[in-house]
Each structure stands twice: as C-alpha cells, then as structure tokens.
Amino acid sequence: ARSPAGLANRACACGFVSLTRAVRGFADYTGCFAMLIQTFDFKIISDGRGSLIALEGDSVNVPFAIQRMYYVFGVEAGTKRGAHAHKQLRQLAVCVSGACRMTLDNGLGETAEVMLDSPNKGLLIERMMWHEMSDFSPDCVLAVLADDHYNESDYYRNYEDFLRAAQAAG
C-alpha cells in the first residue's frame, strides 16, 4: 500500500493498513486507507496534581479551526443518539468521562465501530459520515469539537437521503 511521506504503516484493527504520525508532538494520529476510522491519541500532561489534555485547532492537534464545542451527558442506558450525517461539518469527538460506542458508515458499504473510552482518544467524524452513538456509560460526557456553527440545514437526518447523496458523490 502507498503511504504518504512521514507516515509509518502498521496493521489496523479494521483490516486496512493504518497510518500513524505525531502531530506537532501533541497527538499521535492513526488513520486507515478506508478513512472511516481516524483517531487521535492526545498527549496527556501529568504531574503530581493530576492530568491535563489541551486541544487546539488549526492542526496543532485538532485538524481544523474550532468554531464550536458541545457536550452530551446524562444519557440513559440503552439510548442511541446521533443517527445523522453532515454535508460539510467536520467534528472530533472525545469521551472526556466514561465511554460510548461510535458507529460510522460512509454510505458506500463500509462501516466501522470505535469505543471512545479514554479522555485522550479522539475520533474524527468527517463530513458525509453517518454516525450513531450507543452504549453510553452512566458517567459518559461526550465532548465534540466542530469546525462550524450549528446549522440544521447541514444535516442528513434521513438515512435514505444520505445514501443517495453519498453514492452520487462517491
């Protein structure tokens, strides 16, 4: 498999060749050629007083300019959230407390699941990626950074509409 310069190949859990690189020393980025799963292992700054993680946009360790942050919490066991895709919006999700499962679907027959279970593990949710969250732990706080303001017209909330658009584009 081809690998862009500066990226090291390694086996990926999803069966594709993955890419790992340090992003300005703040995060290790792991992607795969399917580009469904793109995770970031953020650097933890620890001392005797505890731990700290800094997220910074403009590719310091988050690959876009951050325009918005929101967080989801207090989700009852068994609840599913998400179930939509964005036309343009790019997002990065981190469980800063607890855990939840993220299921991704690119509308072209490829799906993947990732457990977000650590405050230093970020998942990039690209545009045109149907995503659902499930298996929320009671203490889950899911933080999401986004590259634009909230805009309902950027959503595909109907899966058939999303599939048609993804297949027309892909």
Nearer to ligand TYD, 13 or 150 (CB): 150
Nearest CA to 24 among 57, 67, 71? Answer: 57
Q: Are 41 and 28 in contact (CB under 8 A)?
A: yes
Indicate whether 70 belongs to the interface with ligand TYD (CB under 6 A). Answer: yes
Two structure tokens written together for 153: 């017209």
- Shortest spacing between CB 167 and ligand TYD, in angstroms: 23
Active site residue 84: yes
122-151: contacts with ligand TYD (CB under 6 A) = 150
- Shortest spacing between CB 75 and ligand TYD, in angstroms: 9
Radius of gyration for the chain, computed over Cα atoms and rounded to the nearest angstrom:
16
- Shortest spacing between CB 24 and ligand TYD, in angstroms: 27
Nearest CA to 131 among 156, 149, 151, 153? Answer: 156
The Cα 8–Cα 118 span in angstroms is: 24
- Shortest spacing between CB 94 and ligand TYD, in angstroms: 14
Provide the mask over 50-69, with x wherever binding to ligand TYD is found by CB under 6 A and - wherever it is not.
------------------x-
Across-strand partners of 85?
156
Among 81, 87, 118, 134, binds ligand TYD (CB under 6 A): 81
Length of the chain counted residue by residue: 170
Indicate whether 11 belongs to the interface with ligand TYD (CB under 6 A). Answer: no
Q: Which amino acid is at 135?
A: D
Interface residues toward ligand TYD, by CB under 6 A: 68, 70, 72, 81-82, 150
